[in-house]
Structure 1
Amino acid sequence: MSKRVPDFSKLRMNVSGRVLDPNDSAYESARQALIWNKRKPSRFPDVLVRPESVEDVASAVRFAKHNGLQVGIRSGGHSWTASFMRDGGVLLDMSAFDKLHIDATAKTATVGPAVKGAKLIEKLGELGLFFPAGHCDTVALGGYLLQGGFGWHSRRRGPACASVRSAQVVTADGEIVHVDAEHNADLFWAMRGAGPGFFGVVTEFELELYDRPPVLRFTAHAYHFELMDEIFPWLANTLPELSPDLECSALAKTDPETGKLSIQMRGVVLAESEDAATAALGVIDDCPMRKRAYARNHNLPITFAQLYSGMDKNYPPDMRIALDNAWSDARPDDLLPGIHAAVESMPNSPPTHFMLQPWGRSPNLRDMAFSFEANIFMIASTGWYDPADDDLHQGWVTDSMRRLEPKSLGIKLGDENLASRPARFMSPANFARLKRIRQAWDPAGLFHTYMALPDES
């Protein structure tokens, strides 16, 4: 039996923004433009809608419900798997929701889901304020805040979703509601951590802001690859000594200067004083291996614009991307066999790397869906150009983290690889609660949920 095609003319009448279905000549170019990297999945929504107002969003949701269509939401398109892009249904492109208003006196910001974190940091910096936005300047706040949000200074401030005060949400019934700790509190709880499985459309966030520490410093060491077995465990074991103002990592990757496999150790600190920055970076700058570094830059002044530019070099806009990640509380030495297997099978592509990062758990974490952190965070990341190499690179990130599963607690949403490797991303109790809240707010499953789920049995 052929599929019934809804009458999209009614949707066009009720939505002021762009509405494209596959019969429109602009549909395919618009569909591909919604995806951040060059790897475009063969998934085709029934209709692409670019709402321009919250009323447009509500109208589109009601249309979907009336016509038995599911709904996907795209904020900035940075999801490397394009989890928002599904076959069939309505895809809401929220790129017009880029409102940004800062109340410096109240230390709050009202932002749309399409606002880029880098822009927010820039505007706040002019006022001496700060928010822990994402590490890449192409990351919009919508998906970032929903999935938790690990960004600059998050070891001090916690996941960014913990700094969301309230939001405006369009529900599965097409109703526009306000959510915070006292109003629709269960939806507010779910919104902070549900990520791509959230069952509503957030059209506006209210954020808690912080004073911006005045000192931003950067340290970088480069070592020959043979030292990995010393550097990775040493760095992981420094966690108790690390200032929460410091974010540091070690990456196994090809050095663009030498063309050889290397270990790059880096640290970024946002501090209240020069002395505090020097003390925080001292853990790395005075590490036992420092005399064997073949390149060493320590405690250098840096700007957020420069940090974002450096991150962009790992993810050029014309590149195909794949990632996977893992949280772990294992002994660092016990992780080395899996890390070796990952690094030794790493594709020969300059942006490709395996990263280990000492992280730890946020103190006094608020009660919300987000519930997963650990002492060590690891990520396998790769980029390439030739579509013929898709299986090679996708297989590498998946296999690398699969080998580490016995030592892993689960994954971080945002860099997830759920379609290829389902893994836990929330505590079992929180995930069970999330399912109950979804049943209450979206019993018919109007909104797409996760691309795949782990076996919780």
Structure 2
Amino acid sequence: MSKAKVNILRKGKGPELTGRIVVPGDTQYHAARKEFNTFFNKFPLVIVFAQETKDVTNAILWARHWDVPIRMRSGRHSYEGLSVVDSGIVIDVSEMLQLDVDRRNETVTLQTGFRDSAIDEILGSEGLAVPTGLCPTTGVAGYTLGGGQSKLSRSLGLIIDNLLELEMVDADGRVILANANHNADLFWASRGGGGGNFGITTSFRFRTHSIDTVAFANIGWNLRDLVPVLRSWQLLTVPSSDDRLTPLLTIVNGLKSGSSTKLFNTSFPLQMQGVFLGPVSELRKLLYPLLQAGSPQQVFIEEIPWLEAVERIAVSQPESEPFKSVGPFVNHLLPDEGIEKIERLINDPPTSSVAILFHGLGGAVANVPSNATAYYYRRALYNMSIWSTWSTPEGSAPGIRWVEDFRKAMLPFTQGVYVNTPDLSIKNWSEAYYGSNFVRLTRVKAKYDPENIFNFPQSIPPARGW
């Protein structure tokens, strides 16, 4: 559709679009349609950067009037590019950036345009925190709605465990609030049901936590130490381990020396990082068995400011690039057979860079029942995100195939998949993402979006005859 036609639609009969509007032909259009995963190259009819909630309402009503597909977007981090669509409207909330800290009630209310790094910096400057994610550029909306696995998960839980209320615009353009006492079914579904299924979320209210300095660990090994390191690392995620530590472990293998294609920005092929909410002396004692695994090439275990720990984790995360990733859960300690299979696969990558991120869970995450929120995999010890990237278009097919082969090879040792790492090749996705919570989610969908206006590949369908 031509720019002229779009202008007629947005200012002609019917609802009018408001906010910052970008259409094909505008100088900012190509930057506006770009996703974090640059493998996807889609061309929306119009992109609306909402400045206030009314702009979201107007965009939904406009899209319904002209029967245009809708996608909503916060940080552009949808792994399968599901926050953008060809010939549709993208409703982007990234310019909605109001934030209010309520010290007396120990809460923060913020609009959904914020990214993790900004939330960390603003709250951290006041000695406060909510459990945001690892990557600094992830948008708070999608991150939260999928559950929100964080760098503080074992001590403070998922971000949804700290969510008190949300504001959402529904398919009829109405602004609704959801909390434990009002629209409680929607509040349940929005805590782990994934972004984009029920409406467009415009604000959250979170419980805050006081934070100042933390004990922080950063340990590096060579790839040959993978087996003993992973065997020891996973013991930090069992129920009996100290839940004040949320441990991370990154394994990276890139075939192309000097390639501009890069996954996790680690100094060593094996890197453990972790924030510990306790004395550094106790962290050193806790990590002693891990330090005996292999031959550590770098050991940093010190007390540092919270925001420095945030930055150290952030700089090691992937940057915008073409990639494929999926994140299954591990509910039981991997046996030697599983660890050795990981070693074989990571040492036999395609013509691309590959990585695995192990993200410690359990602790406070496991203290919540699996049906208390839509996030189902509460008993997982950790999440295992499998990554591949490539530097040439020809590398995409083998890179994608490697991730899929890896996921299937891990099926005997894993359960389900984190909904914030969607994989369109998964056939039983409803069970993989939501377990036994899926049926209830379809009922919530039928109540709040019965006409399935907010739909996309692998979106939750409304229950029929519920």
- Shift of residue 107, structure 1, vs aligned partner: 0.9
Larger CA deviation: 338-347 vs 418-427: 418-427
1:143–1:196 CA contact under 8 A, matched in 2: yes
| 1:180-233 deviations in Å (ceiling 9; x for gaps) | 111112111111111134210111111111122x33222233333333222222
TM-score, normalized by length of structure 1?
0.86
Q: Given residue 216 of structure 2, which amino acid in structure 1 is its aligned partner?
A: F
| 1:221-270 deviations in Å (ceiling 9; x for gaps) | 333333322222222234244221212233332499x9999652413224
Q: 2:330 corresponds to which residue?
A: 328
In structure 2, stretches of 5+ residues that fail to align are: 259-265, 462-466
Q: Given residue 33 of structure 2, which amino acid in structure 1 is its aligned partner?
A: Q
Q: In structure 1, which of residues 367, 370, 378 is the aligned counterpart of residue 375 of structure 2? A: 370
What pairs up with 1:372-411 in 2 under 5 angstroms?
A: 372-373=377-378, 374-411=380-417
Q: Given residue 344 of structure 1, which amino acid in structure 2 is its aligned partner?
A: N
Instruction: Give the direction of change, closer, same or farther, for the CA distance of 1:32–1:285 in structure 2 (3 Å limit).
Output: farther
Larger CA deviation: 76-85 vs 24-33: 24-33
Q: Given residue 230 of structure 1, which amino acid in structure 2 is its aligned partner?
A: P
Q: Given residue 107 of structure 1, which amino acid in structure 2 is its aligned partner?
A: E
Rounded Cα–Cα distance in structure 2 between residues aligned with 1:192 and 1:397? 27
| 1:280-329 deviations in Å (ceiling 9; x for gaps) | 34232343625732333333536534543553344234x32322111022
Other structure's SS at 1:45 match: coil
1:223–1:293 CA contact under 8 A, matched in 2: yes
Q: Given residue 149 of structure 2, which amino acid in structure 1 is its aligned partner?
A: F
Other structure's SS at 1:14 match: coil
Rounded Cα–Cα distance in structure 2 between residues aligned with 1:68 and 1:111? 31
- Shift of residue 145, structure 1, vs aligned partner: 0.7
Q: 1:179 corresponds to which residue?
A: 178
Q: 1:283 corresponds to which residue?
A: 286
1:253–1:261 CA contact under 8 A, matched in 2: no
2:228–2:294 CA contact under 8 A, matched in 1: no
- 1:447 equivalent to 2:454? Answer yes
Rounded Cα–Cα distance in structure 1 between residues aligned with 2:444 and 2:55? 25
Rounded Cα–Cα distance in structure 2 between residues aligned with 1:406 and 1:290? 26
Rounded Cα–Cα distance in structure 2 between residues aligned with 1:387 and 1:394? 12
Q: 2:220 corresponds to which residue?
A: 222
2:190–2:374 CA contact under 8 A, matched in 1: yes
- Shift of residue 114, structure 1, vs aligned partner: 1.1
How many residue pairs match? The answer is: 441
1:418–1:452 CA contact under 8 A, matched in 2: no
2:154–2:243 CA contact under 8 A, matched in 1: yes
Rounded Cα–Cα distance in structure 1 between residues aligned with 2:245 and 2:13? 49
Other structure's SS at 2:122 match: helix
Q: 2:261 corresponds to which residue?
A: none
Rounded Cα–Cα distance in structure 2 between residues aligned with 1:304 and 1:12? 48
Rounded Cα–Cα distance in structure 2 between residues aligned with 1:160 and 1:291? 34
Q: 1:138 corresponds to which residue?
A: 137
Instruction: Give the direction of change, closer, same or farther, for the CA distance of 1:405–1:261 in structure 2 (3 Å limit).
Output: farther
Instruction: Give the direction of change, closer, same or farther, for the CA distance of 1:302–1:420 in structure 2 (3 Å limit).
Output: farther
Other structure's SS at 1:287 match: helix
Q: 1:237 corresponds to which residue?
A: 235
2:154–2:361 CA contact under 8 A, matched in 1: yes
TM-score, normalized by length of structure 2?
0.85
Q: 1:433 corresponds to which residue?
A: 440
Aligned alpha-carbon RMSD (Å): 3.1
1:380–1:400 CA contact under 8 A, matched in 2: yes
1:369–1:426 CA contact under 8 A, matched in 2: no
In structure 1, stretches of 5+ residues that fail to align are: none
Rounded Cα–Cα distance in structure 1 between residues aligned with 2:314 and 2:392? 22
Q: 2:65 corresponds to which residue?
A: 66
Identity %: 22
Instruction: Give the direction of change, closer, same or farther, for the CA distance of 1:11–1:392 in structure 2 (3 Å limit).
Output: farther
Other structure's SS at 2:417 match: coil
1:190–1:434 CA contact under 8 A, matched in 2: yes
| 1:386-429 deviations in Å (ceiling 9; x for gaps) | 23322222222222112112322111122232356764444433
Q: Given residue 437 of structure 2, which amino acid in structure 1 is its aligned partner?
A: N
